[in-house]
Amino acid sequence: MIATGMTVQPTPGRAKEARPAGSEPEIAVIGGSGFYEFLADAQDVDIATPYGHPSAPIAVGKVAGRQVAFLPRHGRRHEFPPHRVNYRANLWALRSLGVRRVLAPCAVGSLQDGLGPGDLAVPDQLVDRTSGRVQTYMDEGAAHVAFADPYCPALRESLRAADETIASPATMVVIEGPRFSTRAESQWYAAQGWSLVNMTGHPEAVLARELALCYAAVALVTDRDAGVTSGESVSQEEVFAEFGRGLDRLRNLLSTVIESLPVKRQGCDCAHALDGMDLPFTLP
């Protein structure tokens, strides 16, 4: 990859738009390092935002003939644990490049017997059980974004249409991490009827909504969370290994979806999420 050397200097409360020469990626993927092979002819773009630097330079390249941005959520060497990811900088940087639609593959544990390792799910609901994370751009004033339905319905439908085996609807509970759940916690989540457990889905989804982005998660089940079945538990080794086995399937799914997406956003109201609001910032 070639570093462009471009840096955007932030101005308090405002953002200057920056885009790589001849390239305006409208679609982005936020995922793991295994997605670098996903892009053809990729170049790196360095962006500084009013909220600091994103997890890594953003790679911009081609997928199915379309310009796509890729950002490794945890950094290129997985240096940022889930509670230390700069989610605000990540989403702001993507929008600054021209991104308006975000696909977010992630690893999850299963809380229900019908979902097992290797299965894919597209959640339609989110439950926040994190603590201490900065989860908004609304640092002053009165601006309250609707979040009853956290994910873009148009992106969700595109994902479901690309693979009929995908489980949906599904509720994903997001925990603080980096530790896995206790058995009692896992049993409680399952008893609520929630389907998946994850560590990165919040505040990523709400920040995307506050920037009027379309956003959808696609979850790869890597394990059965502790407590779903007596005696079972989860380990980092197991999670990483199962996610690696599912990478090709995820990449193929996302390629199909990206190729199928209409040129302009349609079938959702995500672009109008901020209509009528007095924002404490200027959108990039």
* Catalytic sites, residue numbers: 223, 225
Of 111, 106, 61, nearest to 250 (Cα)?
A: 106
- If one counts every other C-beta atom within 10 angstroms of the C-beta of residue 167, the result is 19
**CA 278: distance to chain centroid?**
26
3-state secondary structure 19-32: CCCCCCCCEEEEEC
Of 223, 217, 216, nearest to 111 (Cα)?
A: 223
Check if the beta carbon of residue 103 is closer than 8 Å to that of residue 259: no
Of 139, 126, 284, nearest to 213 (Cα)?
A: 284
What backbone torsions phi and psi does residue 153 show, to the nearest 5 degrees?
-65, -35
Strand pairing partners for 88? Answer: none
For residue 169, cis peptide bond before it (omega within 30 degrees of 0): yes
Task: Map tokens 């955007």 to a residue.
Answer: 8
Q: Are strands 66-72 and 101-110 parallel, antiparallel or unpaired?
A: unpaired
For the chain, the maximum distance between any two Cα atoms, rounded to a whole number of angstroms, is 56
